[in-house]
Amino acid sequence: MPIVQCKNLVKTYRQGEVTVNALRDVSLEVEKGGFLALAGPSGSGKTTVLNLIGSLDRADSGTISVDGREYSRMNSAALAELRLHKIGFVFQAYNLIPVLSALENVEYVMLLQGVAPKERMARAQAILDDVGLGDKGDRRPAELSGGQQQRVAVARAIVSNPAIVLADEPTANLDSKTGQELLELMLAMNTEKGVTFIFSTHDQMVMEYARRLVHIRDGRIAGDESKQGG
């Protein structure tokens, strides 16, 4: 069974007197262990797809299942629980908590999950080591570069072993060298740990790294291509 199943998604927004058709009958399946990019220009609907999969927003119609659980059958509390345990998020603006250290930011999801302090500290330190920031655990976000902050965000997203990681324009605020290093890191996590990644992007470099590329234009899937057997 695919790790993500979206069927016939429709989503509209009101902007003043105007109705915007963000998604028009979008269907998508993502296999476990995928490394997939949703590609398209601004306003194409790719971030909307990501937000619906992450249950940060609700579709007007259509169904979504993650890891075999269908959203339409779940209430808000159940969806929050699913987000906490099954989905990791990497945002364009990092979304780290300014008053917490890098280590504490990575620990935060595990704190919400009720993981014991000793275990969550050990796991957070191990994942910071994995992303090359093992010696920066005591630094607050303001004391880290943009690339380092995004690495902390990736560490936070994967430390609790989610079913999928959703990354919204993760390279948008990074220079090309730092962006490439981040993509190499996420590809290694995908290859070595089997973490499923779904990106939204208009960055050509992300598209080149993706093993599957789904093009979205005007709220519809305009193309779907797999590369390197992905």
pLDDT digits 0-9 by tens, 92-149: 888 999 999 999 999 999 999 999 999 999 999 999 998 889 999 999 999 999 889 9
Which residues lie across from 206 on neighbouring strands? none
d(CA 105, CA 87): 16
Identify whether the C-beta of residue 55 lies closer than 8 Å to the C-beta of residue 67. no
Mean per-residue pLDDT pooled into runs of 10, the chain (230 residues)? 94 88 95 95 91 94 94 92 92 90 95 94 93 93 92 90 90 86 89 92 92 95 79
Q: Give the pLDDT of residue 173.
A: 81
Tell me if residue 123 falls in helix, strand or coil. Answer: helix
DSSP 44: S
Q: Give the pLDDT of residue 230.
A: 45
Nearest to 53 by CA among 43, 39, 64, 41: 64
Q: What share of the chain is helix, strand, coil (3-state, %, to 5)?
A: 40, 30, 35
* CATH fold of 34-46+81-226: Rossmann fold (3.40.50)
